[in-house]
Structure 1
Amino acid sequence: MAGALAGYRVLEFASLGPGPFCGMMLADHGAEVIVAYRPGGAPDPRDPVFRSRKLVEIDIKTPEGRAQALELAATCDAVIEGYRPGVMERAGLGPDDLLAVNPRLVYGRMTGWGQFGPLAPTAGHDINYIAISGALGSFGRAGERPVAPLNLVGDYGGGGMMLAFGIVTALLHASRTGEGQVIDCAMTDGSAALMALIWGARATWGWKDERGVNMLDTGAHFYETYETSDGLHVSFGPIEPQFYKTALGLLGLADDPDFAAQMDQARWPRLKEKLAEVFRTRTRDEWTLVFEGADACFAPVLSLDEAYAHPHNVARGTFSEIEGVRQPSPAPRLSRTPAAAPQRPSAL
């Protein structure tokens, strides 16, 4: 396969969510990723998260399966596993076991709570992990309960993406030193790291530890979504003064004195009401034409199918279709080692 990771081999012990997403990221960029499934547990090949992989059946609960996994791990550069702490050790496939047969191996461990800590042995999901990291408590409108941002912040951003980053950095270290190592990737840690901007905002520009009252959390009138006359929505985010001025002009509000003090938080609720009234006077697509080509930080809020067909996304090839299944294309884009077109996983 093409890609910056061509020549690397990864053994992925089948799991849910963030583990497969990490494997997808590595496979998208050229790594040979072999997914070991328990008998009868292979995925639906239409699922993009499992694309560009080789699938094998290994029952790691049997001596034969353990031997097969050890033999395969000896030929790999990295391993991905997403079980609760202790599961792989009990199967005889923990870090010590695999590093004994392959000292250069990068052993990536994906969990919600991490390998240690009071919650480590307990069950949980994305919504729980981002709850204790402080992320979930920051998502939502003022006076309302927290809103889970799908499972993107814990499972995928703080989990799978963070593990992919950890594996690549550890592979760089192994290439220099010949030393493998273990990656303890916890979604609690990863989602906390994604909140670095907000921790910085608290320290430097007065971010309040409340939902829906700050500039980036729907508190500000100039960083918000608005409903249009057809019941659809637009995103509006002109933070910088020059973009704010342009946006107000396009909305017919350039001479409205209420909007002069952009950063006066006491005015934000009333200004949101006024903007909501203005945006309800036209359809989403009519507003899109008004703002087209302007530096006003505006975009229509699109459905998945609309996003697939948007001219900008089409021009960049942001989405692909594999055997009738629409899905996001590999990202990010590398100039010298671009990712190959993704493919469905191999036959088992």
Structure 2
Amino acid sequence: MPSDADVPATGPLAGVRVVELASLAPAPFGCMVLADLGADVVRVDRPGGTAPGRLAAPSTGPLHRGRRVTALDLKSPAGLADLLRLVERADVLVEAYRPGVAERLGLGPRVCRERNPRLVYARLTGWGQDGPLAARAGHDIDYIAVAGALEPLGRAGGPPHAPLNLLGDFAGGGMLLATGVLAALLERERSGLGQVVDAAMVDGSALLTAFLHGMVAAGRWSAPRGGNLLDGGAPFYDTYRTADDRFVAVGALEPAFYAALLTGLGLADDPGLPAQYDPDGWPELRRRFTARFTARTRDEWTAVFAGLDACVAPVLAPTEAHRHPHNAARGTFVEVGGEVQPAPAPRFARTPPPPPRPAPDPAAPLDVAAVIDGWPARP
């Protein structure tokens, strides 16, 4: 395996230096995105390991790929001094402490930006740096609940159902963090100055509901949970169990796709079928669709719809998605250190990033002096 020194500095973020203070899933995901795009990300662990937590992703897993790692005791004068030496030569610092913790440690934005005015100081929290809940604990499910992103999710008559921790932690958290960092780096090219990026998962989760707010304003989202067009209320936008106890996803919203769906199901010539957009007829449509889909296996239905633009797809488990012909052809998944993982995205025609490197061994951190020596002082 090539060493870090042998890996070419490619990707659109080649040359960007990121200091990541070890934390749990959302910030590591954001830093994974930056590393995937070519940034040189150095994770700063606590001596003896990364941030604790039963739910923390393994520090050798996909969220930590592409990094280098060092260890510093930030509560000691020597550890803090070394961290600030890294900051002097970095472009970005990422921390995910509760508000005020970084300041108490002596590494808050004011201290760091006095050392390096060009530094982008990126902060990721659940509730943000201010507001009544800023100091409170929380998890993904709490942030999306307050953001209005949880209430619409779930079946009619049932409770809201959290979509894993994808909305708050990763889409509304880590991805928002990466977007903020990129915007601040771009603005720095004009101003010559860094700034603080306050990425809050409650803000990001609310941002993800922009389309839903538009539907509400247009009067197109008025039924209770599970009774609207995109939340499982419409029988032509839902999932169906197949004969082998698997599922297919149906998204035949537009009339042309709906017509192809009926063709694939053998219902195109049924004169008694209710109209597509008549909600009173949706229970009957669902009954008919359910009966048809349970007659064949998932893969048999995949073959039936292979030649039809009906917006029907097999529901794949994460462990089998890499074998789908489309994903395999595009390289949507890659093998990193013997493990199948999602590939970096998006794709770049002129500056493609190199294949991801495995996560570093947290038991063998780099000497911080070696990292500093490898980052020449900025002019």
For Structure 1 versus Structure 2, the TM-score category normalised by the shorter chain is over 0.9
> How much has 1:346 moved relative to structure 2?
3.4
Structure 1 stretch 204-213 or stretch 240-249: which is displaced more? 204-213
Structure 1 unaligned runs (5+)? none
**Distance in 1, Cα, partners of 2:59 & 2:133:** 34
> Is the Cα contact below 8 Å between 2:236 and 2:253 reproduced in 1?
yes
One-letter identity of the residue aligned with 2:38: G
One-letter identity of the residue aligned with 1:249: T
One-letter identity of the residue aligned with 2:297: T
Q: Secondary structure at the match of 1:292?
A: helix
Structure 2 unaligned runs (5+)? 1-8, 51-56, 366-379
> How much has 1:157 moved relative to structure 2?
0.1
Q: Secondary structure at the match of 2:248?
A: strand
Aligned with residue 15 of structure 1, among 12, 23, 32: 23
**Distance in 2, Cα, partners of 1:127 & 1:144:** 17
**Distance in 2, Cα, partners of 1:216 & 1:235:** 12
Aligned position for 1:265: 279
One-letter identity of the residue aligned with 1:4: P
> How much has 1:210 moved relative to structure 2?
2.6
Residue 188 of structure 2 corresponds to residue 180 of structure 1 = no
Aligned position for 2:222: 208
**Distance in 2, Cα, partners of 1:180 & 1:139:** 38
Aligned position for 1:314: 328
Aligned position for 1:2: 10
> How much has 1:93 moved relative to structure 2?
0.4
Moved over 4 A (4+): none
**Distance in 2, Cα, partners of 1:54 & 1:211:** 45
Residue 152 of structure 2 corresponds to residue 144 of structure 1 = no
**Distance in 2, Cα, partners of 1:75 & 1:44:** 28
**Distance in 1, Cα, partners of 2:304 & 2:228:** 28
Q: Secondary structure at the match of 2:84?
A: helix
> Is the Cα contact below 8 Å between 2:32 and 2:63 reproduced in 1?
yes
One-letter identity of the residue aligned with 1:116: D
TM-score by length of 2: 0.90
Aligned position for 2:377: none
Aligned with residue 341 of structure 1, among 355, 362, 371: 355
Q: Secondary structure at the match of 1:138?
A: coil
Q: Secondary structure at the match of 1:313?
A: helix
Q: Secondary structure at the match of 2:307?
A: coil
**Distance in 1, Cα, partners of 2:310 & 2:115:** 58
**Distance in 2, Cα, partners of 1:165 & 1:209:** 34
> How much has 1:258 moved relative to structure 2?
4.6
Q: Secondary structure at the match of 1:73?
A: helix
Residue 144 of structure 2 corresponds to residue 130 of structure 1 = yes
Superposed CA deviations along residues 126-161 of structure 1, whole A, max 9, x for unmatched, are 000000001011110110011110100000000000
Aligned position for 2:375: none
Aligned position for 1:116: 130
> Is the Cα contact below 8 Å between 2:154 and 2:231 reproduced in 1?
yes
**Distance in 2, Cα, partners of 1:183 & 1:293:** 47
- Count of paired positions: 348
Structure 1 stretch 50-59 or stretch 319-328: which is displaced more? 319-328
Aligned with residue 36 of structure 1, among 44, 49, 52: 44
